[in-house]
Every structure is written in structure tokens, then in C-alpha cells.
Amino acid sequence: MALADSARGLPNGGGVSPAAGPGSGAAGSSAFPEIVELNVGGQVYVTRRGTVVSVRDSLLWRMFSQQQPGELPRDSKGRFFLDRDGFLFRYILDYLRDLQLVLPEHFPERSRLQREAEYFQLPELARRLAQSRGAAGGGTRPAALNRDGSLCVDEPPSLLGYLEAEPPEAGGAASAPSPTSSRSPSGGPLLTPSQSLDGGAARRSGYITIGYRGSYTIGREAQADAKFRRVARITVCGKTALAKEVFGETLNESRDPDRPPERYTARYYLKFNFLEQAFDRLSEAGFRMAACSSTGTCAFAPEQGGPADDKIWTSYTEYVFCRD
């Protein structure tokens, strides 16, 4: 989805916004290098100084035109540091380049991106994000979803619990409720795990595979203790749209950004390290476990300073979840 803007900056962020007026980026221009390196929440960005000062009176404009380099915080490698969401900053930077923003389809983090736009004091971007959220919340969901004040339009469709009851057929009595369905307090039937709201249609089916590597050491027979290492990373394989629907902002897409929603990926991983948390999210989204497999290897550990009969086991485990 493109958020177009009638005003355009110079190509590649090579100047200031037309609304900024003459000389808006002149102050302090000689103090900063032409190419600046930014560390935003651990993500490194390299861009032109003209890009970060392209919107007058924004936070970045004040930092890089009204202050001196020595006044700004830096990381251990001398890059200018901003303690914000490094993943979402890529969209802020895209907007600063030409005052347009193109978001991926099924983008689940409009609310957080709007918050980032407000923090960086980009009111036009924040306004357009708010409009796009309002259009998505009011134009693609059934009216019954908005009549109950307890329902939040920002929640993804899979987390909304109620549907409007179907009207009776013309001239006939209301159809009997399904024996497997239950009624919500608002009068509509409660969704079963196999149902969802996706523009009024049944939600898509598919598979998601969760994988992780682990290792542990079993002591000598006289010692029953086992030393486990924590799970370092939980990987997510499957269709991009499904992965984003289930895991939302907890999904790390940095290794495969801008993947089309109907394409498959094996490069996503989660920002948390608890398998049970991943299982809970999948269960709440209507997935069930279909298969599980694991492989393991064993090695002795004398070279690591341990007794000769201590063994280190390493394993890789995958859990396959599906939704019909």
C-alpha cells in the first residue's frame, strides 16, 4: 500500500522539503559529514545527511542541523545512536528520501509505525498512517465488529472473537444455531478455532514450521544432573502472510525483509526464546500440531575440560502446525 504525498523532496534525499523554505538545512551543515552512519536500536543505516534533514522541524532535522556532532550520542564505533525500533526506522528513512511511503501488504505494525512517526516529529506521516488505519478498520470489516466498544479495530482479525449473527431468510424463521457454536455476550456466535475474520471470508489455511537447536550435557552415571543450554533462536518457516498474522511484532524479519505475502520463507525467527509462547500464539490463531521431528548428535567433552565420560548432546527439532 502506498501512502502518497503531494509534496516531494529532491531525489534520494538530496535536499530539503519544498515546504521547508530556503536555507532550512544550512545551519551546522559543515560540522557533519555528507554520509552519516546511524545505529537505531542495533540496526545500522548509512544515508546522506541531506536525507535526515529533509523535513524541517523534525527531530532528525534539529539533531543534524541545529546541534554539533559532539552533542549527539554515539555507539562504540562512532555511529550516531538512536534508541528506537531499528526495524521500523527503515520506513521512516524511506519517507524522508522522497516524502512517500510504501508499506508491504498485510503490514501489521501501522500503530507502532505511527508512534515512531510521532516520536520523530513527522506530523504528515503520522496523519497519513492514522488515516490508513481508519480506512482499514472501517472499510474491510463487518459493521458488527465496530458496534461493541470492547472490540479494538487495531487487533488482527484472528484475535477478534465475535461475528454478527446471520439474518434469517426472507419469509422464514431464524435458523437454529449450530450445536458446536456458542453465543457471545453481544449476541453473535463465538468463533470456533477453525473460523476467522478476513474481510468476511474464511481465513486462509496453511502450515507453519517452528524449529530450534538445543544442546545439553548429561553427567557421569554417578551424577544424575543434566546441564541444559537455553534455546538461542526459534526459526519460523512458512508463508509470509501466515507468519505475520500469527506472530505480529514478535517476528524478526531482518534477514528477509519485504518478502511478498504469498511467498514462502525459511529465514524468519522470533524475538523471544520460549517455545511455549510460540505454541500459545499458534493455538490462539487456530493452528494445531500436525507433526514433530528431531535429530541429535553426541560428542564427548574432554577437550572442554570435562571428564572423559561426559557427553554433549546437540539436537535440532521441528514442530509442524497446520490450520485447515
User: For residue range 104-154, what is the model confidence (pLDDT) as tens digits?
Assistant: 877 888 899 999 999 999 999 999 898 877 666 544 443 333 333 333 434
Pairing of strands 234-239, 226-228: unpaired
Question: Rounded CA gap, 42 and 203, in Å?
Answer: 35
Residue type for position 232:
A
Taking only the tens place, the pLDDT of each residue in 150-201 is 334 344 433 333 333 344 444 444 444 444 444 444 444 444 433 443 443 4
- Do the beta carbons of residue 312 and residue 299 sit within 8 Å? yes
Grid cell, residue 305, equals 575440560
Query: How much is the pLDDT for 307?
Result: 55
Query: How much is the pLDDT for 166?
Result: 43
Q: What residues are paired with 228 via a beta bridge?
A: 216
Question: Rounded CA gap, 25 and 28, in Å?
Answer: 8
Taking only the tens place, the pLDDT of each residue in 54-100 is 999 999 999 999 999 999 999 999 999 999 999 899 999 999 999 98
Q: At what angle do helices 110-119 and 89-98 cross, to 10 degrees?
A: 60
Taking only the tens place, the pLDDT of each residue in 262-317 is 889 988 999 888 888 999 999 999 999 999 998 888 766 555 555 555 677 788 89
Q: What phi, psi does 205 have (nearest 5°)?
A: -95, 165
DSSP symbol at 202: P
The angle subtended at Cα 110 by Cα 49 and Cα 106, nearest 5°, is 115
In our burial notation (b when 16+ CB lie closer than 10 A, e otherwise), range 56-94 reads eebebbebbbeeeeeeeeeeeeebbbbebbbbbbbbbbb
For the chain, list the domains and their CATH numbers: 35-131 (3.30.710.10), 206-323 (no CATH)
Query: How much is the pLDDT for 101?
Result: 82
Query: How much is the pLDDT for 82?
Result: 95
Q: What residues are paired with 142 via a beta bridge?
A: none
Q: Determine the straight-line distance between the first and last CA of the chain, rounded to whole angstroms.
A: 28
Which SS3 state, helix, strand or coil, does residue 198 take? strand
Q: How many residues appear in the chain? A: 324
Taking only the tens place, the pLDDT of each residue in 227-237 is 666 567 899 99
Residue type for position 49:
R
- The pLDDT-based confidence of 321 (bands split at 50, 70, 90) is very high
Question: Rounded CA gap, 12 and 23, in Å?
Answer: 19
Q: What phi, psi does 306 have (nearest 5°)?
A: -95, 170
Distances from the Cα of 133 to the Cα of 99, 151, 231, 272, angstroms:
19, 15, 36, 27
Taking only the tens place, the pLDDT of each residue in 24-40 is 444 444 589 999 999 99
Grid cell, residue 284, equals 490462539
DSSP symbol at 204: P
pTM: 0.41
